[in-house]
């Protein structure tokens, strides 16, 4: 064991020196901290696992010991069935470090439902079916009963109400009730995914943290009076390059994330180095965030190798003061002290661990998210989704039915749902030649600059030495040609495969805006600079021509 620990520590120190600072430590801590939460959530049982009760307890016991060995503060979240188990109570009270926190994991179980006086509908004491395991499947009144029962029991056991409550998803009604009656300060939900485990969360604030709308806990609010004042941290840490397209052209995605049980993610040392570089060293605006840890259902046998590889790396970065490792409640309290509304953040990945030349820049604000994507020698906006606090969730006032739930924001460019296996949708910079043919322009060797607290600038040069600058601001996107070939005829063209064009949400357009309707909700994308033209040639949906070499898209209402 000692030799193993020494080997892992050596690897961690090696990665630390590989991840050389691009900012001074003082600058990072004051202006753009890098925050890591280690969140381990606890189920009492899992019908999918043989000898589940003992194996799940063993996993949690080993996680607690590993956290204490590294003196890491962590967040352990108890599902109700584990909350009422004296073994877990004793373990966390006696073995967990005083710098860690105990909170609530919000999946609904048979003892929880029955304690609230509601009929249980599952075949087992815990099931993963969306309308049973999550509050989206219960009426607002039932949701409040479930909250009350849990909070009373938690306080009876631990002497206080939990500060952190997390789940793959918590509905807006429950989240607001938890805050207003019991004072929670932080929450977390699952990364963006399509169909994974039957749950679809798509188009949201990517990876970081946001204040949700009172009508929709997946939708960032635009105004303070319309938001639930509980920051929601996105869990699991998606691969910023490859997660998005995993399963493109199908109805589901695989997983490339921080979870230590996945071989394509944190179990892979090369991927881990790449991901930490994106989180720790690259431009991120307000701050950068990642969530480590693992649910106990995977058992210690499956998670051990990944965790024992990860923790020395995190420890070396913490010792160098490159990251802050803290509890979810501490992060939530800090976030609320810094931001009255959802801030602008970014995740930047310009080194491809697969050596394919791919790059990805994610930008979030309270008004939209955008993804700039370089695929080898091609460039496109792979994703733009608008946020609107008035778009209510399907489950706000009534329970969902069936084994899945679906949460979306408003698509303007959707490189997953609008693509096929053979063709990729995207908003591309194109040149129109003298024969009327469109040629894609690549932005090679991009330089990414934080212009201010909420403005990210991406500068690149095409093969004809035209210099383009894309400026991502809180409520707009600028695309400007700064220099290059005289009289270059360029534009932004939205390409969508013909097989997907019938699914687009656009209704009509004028020279200065395109209108649409998504899930019955009207939206529009306005042009402050440039001219929009409908164009159905060669897979193009619309084309935006610049005004004096500049296009400005307005991304807020």
Same domain, 375 and 341: no
Total Cβ atoms within 10 A of residue 8: 17
Tokens of 307: 């965790």
Domain that holds residue 476: 359-397+411-554
Domain count for the chain = 2
| pLDDT, tens digit, 9 for 90 and up, residues 512-537 | 999 999 999 999 999 999 999 887 77
Q: Is the pLDDT of residue 11 over 60?
A: no
- Does residue 284 lie within any of the structural domains? yes
Is 345 found in the same domain as 386? no
One domain, residues 220 and 273: yes
pLDDT of residue 429: 96
The answer to the question of residue 19 being in a domain is: no
Instruction: Supply the pLDDT for residue 121.
Output: 93
Same domain, 260 and 392: no
- Checking if the pLDDT of 263 tops 70, the result is no
Same domain, yes or no: 524 and 493: yes
Question: What distances in angstroms separate CA 170 from CA 35, 178, 187, 257, one per listed residue?
Answer: 23, 11, 9, 21
Report pLDDT digits (tens) over 235-257.
988 899 999 999 888 878 888 88
Of 330, 349, 368, the residue that ends a domain is: 349
CATH value at residue 249: 3.20.20.510
Reading the block at residue 423, the tokens are 């063709």
Tens digit of each residue's pLDDT (9 = 90 or more) over 426-480: 999 999 888 878 889 999 889 999 999 999 999 999 988 899 999 999 999 999 9
Is 60 exceeded by the pLDDT of residue 387?
yes
CA distance 206 to 377: 25
Q: Which long-range contacts (CB under 8 A, 24 or more apart) does 180-183 make?
A: 181/147, 181/148, 181/151, 182/147, 182/151
Q: How far apart (Å, rounded) are the C-alpha atoms in residues 17 and 310? A: 16
What pLDDT was estimated at residue 30? 57
- What pLDDT was estimated at residue 23? 43
DSSP secondary structure letters along 16-54? HHHS--SS-HHHHHHHS-EEEEEEEEE-S--TTSTTHHH
Query: Are 516 and 505 in contact, with CB atoms under 8 Å apart?
Result: yes
| Same domain, yes or no: 443 and 304 | no
> Rounded to whole angstroms, how far apart are CA atoms 387 and 391?
8
Mean pLDDT of the chain: 90
pLDDT reading at 283 higher than 50: yes
Residue 19 has pLDDT above 50, yes or no: no
Nearest to 45 by CA among 37, 35, 57, 27: 57
Q: Is the confidence at residue 9, as pLDDT, over 50?
A: no
As a whole number of angstroms, the distance between CA 29 and CA 19 comes to: 17
Q: Check whether residue 174 and residue 311 sit in a common domain.
A: yes
Report the 10 Å Cβ neighbour count for 70.
14
At residue 267, the pLDDT reads 63
* Mean pLDDT across 491-513: 93
Instruction: Work out whether the CA dihedral 129, 130, 131, 137 comes out positive or negative.
Output: positive
> By the 8 A CB rule, do 147 and 132 touch?
no
pLDDT at 6 over 60: no
Q: What are phi and psi of 380, to 5 degrees?
A: -160, 155
Residue 210 lies in a domain: yes
Report the pLDDT averaged over residues 214-221: 97
Q: Where do runs of H (alpha helix) occur along 188-298?
A: 269-280
- The answer to whether 367 touches 475, Cβ cutoff 8 Å, is yes
Of 349, 369, 386, the last residue of a domain is 349
> Quick check: is 6 in a domain?
no
Q: Report the SS3 class of residue 109.
A: coil
Provide the 3-class DSSP secondary structure of residue 194: strand
pLDDT for 98 beyond 50: yes
Residue 15's nearest CA partner among 267, 309, 349 is 309
Q: Give the pLDDT mean for 538-549.
A: 90
Residue 299 within a domain: yes
Phi-psi region of 433 (alpha: psi -120 to 50; beta: other; left: phi over 0): beta
How would you write 450-489 as a 3-class SS string? EEECCEEEEEEECCCCCEEEEEEECCEEEEEEEECCCCCC
pLDDT on residue 115: 97
pLDDT bucket at 403, cuts 50 / 70 / 90:
confident
pLDDT of residue 37: 97
Query: Quick one: pLDDT at residue 437?
Result: 83
CA 432 – CA 417 distance, rounded (Å): 27
**316 shares its domain with 438:** no
Contact assessment for residue 39 and residue 236, using Cβ atoms and an 8 Å cutoff? no
- Distance CA(529)–CA(527), nearest Å, equals 5
Q: In terms of domains, do 387 and 344 share one?
A: no
| 307 and 227 in a common domain | yes
Domain boundary (312, 328, 349) is at: 349
Least confident of 22-31, 66-75, 419-428: 22-31
402 found inside a domain: no
| pLDDT for residue 268 | 79
The answer to whether residues 233 and 101 belong to one domain is yes
Asked if residue 295 and residue 181 are part of one domain, the reply reads: yes
Question: Which residues have C-beta within 8 Å of that of residue 8, sequence separation ≥ 6?
Answer: 308, 309, 311, 312
- Tokens 């096929």 locate to 420
**Residue 287 contacts residue 37 (beta carbons within 8 Å):** no
């Amino acid at each position: 064991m000692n030799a193993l620990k020494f080997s892992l520590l050596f690897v961690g120190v090696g990665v630390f020196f590989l991840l050389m600072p691009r900012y001074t430590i003082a600058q990072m801590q004051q202006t753009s901290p890098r925050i890591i939460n280690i969140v381990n959530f606890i189920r009492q049982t899992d019908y999918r696992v043989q000898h589940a009760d003992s194996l799940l307890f063993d996993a949690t016991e080993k996680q607690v010991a590993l956290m204490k060995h590294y003196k890491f503060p962590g967040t352990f979240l108890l599902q109700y069935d584990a909350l009422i188990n004296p073994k877990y109570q004793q373990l966390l009270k006696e073995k967990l470090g005083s710098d860690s926190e105990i909170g609530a994991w919000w999946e609904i179980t048979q003892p929880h439902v029955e304690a609230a006086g509601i009929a249980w509908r599952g075949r087992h004491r815990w099931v993963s079916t969306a309308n049973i395991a999550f509050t989206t499947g219960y009426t607002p009144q039932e949701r409040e009963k479930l909250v009350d029962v849990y909070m009373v029991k938690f306080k009876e056991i631990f002497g206080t109400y939990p500060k952190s409550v997390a789940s793959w998803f918590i509905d807006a009604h429950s989240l607001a009730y938890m805050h207003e009656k019991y004072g929670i300060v932080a929450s977390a939900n699952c990364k963006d995914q399509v169909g994974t485990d039957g749950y679809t969360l798509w188009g949201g604030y990517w990876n970081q943290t946001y204040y949700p709308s009172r009508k929709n806990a997946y939708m960032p609010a635009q105004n303070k009076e319309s938001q639930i004042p509980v920051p929601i941290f996105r869990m699991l840490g998606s691969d910023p390059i490859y997660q998005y397209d995993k399963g493109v052209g199908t109805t589901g995605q695989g997983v490339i994330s921080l979870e230590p049980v996945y071989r394509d993610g944190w179990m892979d040392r090369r991927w881990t180095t790449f991901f930490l570089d994106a989180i720790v060293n690259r431009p991120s605006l307000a701050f950068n965030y990642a969530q480590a840890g693992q649910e106990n259902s995977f058992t210690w046998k499956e998670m051990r190798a990944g965790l024992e590889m990860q923790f020395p790396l995190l420890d070396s970065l913490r010792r160098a003061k490159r990251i802050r490792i803290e509890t979810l409640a501490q992060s939530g309290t800090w976030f609320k002290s810094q931001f009255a509304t959802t801030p602008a953040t970014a995740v930047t990945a310009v080194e491809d661990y697969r050596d394919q030349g791919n790059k990805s820049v994610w930008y979030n604000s309270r008004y939209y998210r955008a993804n700039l994507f370089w695929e080898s020698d091609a460039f496109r906006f792979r994703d733009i989704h608008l946020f609107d606090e008035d778009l209510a969730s399907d489950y706000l006032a009534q329970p969902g039915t069936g084994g899945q739930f679906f949460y979306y924001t408003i698509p303007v460019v959707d490189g997953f749902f609008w693509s096929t296996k053979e063709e990729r949708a995207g908003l591309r910079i194109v040149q129109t030649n003298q024969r009327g043919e469109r040629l894609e322009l690549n932005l090679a060797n991009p330089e990414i600059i934080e212009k201010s607290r909420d403005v990210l600038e991406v500068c690149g040069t095409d093969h004809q030495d035209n210099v383009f600058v894309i400026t991502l601001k809180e409520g707009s996107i600028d695309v400007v040609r700064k220099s290059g070939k005289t009289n270059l005829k360029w534009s932004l063209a939205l390409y969508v495969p013909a097989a997907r064009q019938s699914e687009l949400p656009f209704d009509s357009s004028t020279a200065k805006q395109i209108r649409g309707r998504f899930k019955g909700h009207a939206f529009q994308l306005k042009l402050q600079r440039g001219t929009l033209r409908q164009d159905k040639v060669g897979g193009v949906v619309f084309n935006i021509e610049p005004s004096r070499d500049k296009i400005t898209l307005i991304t807020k209402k």
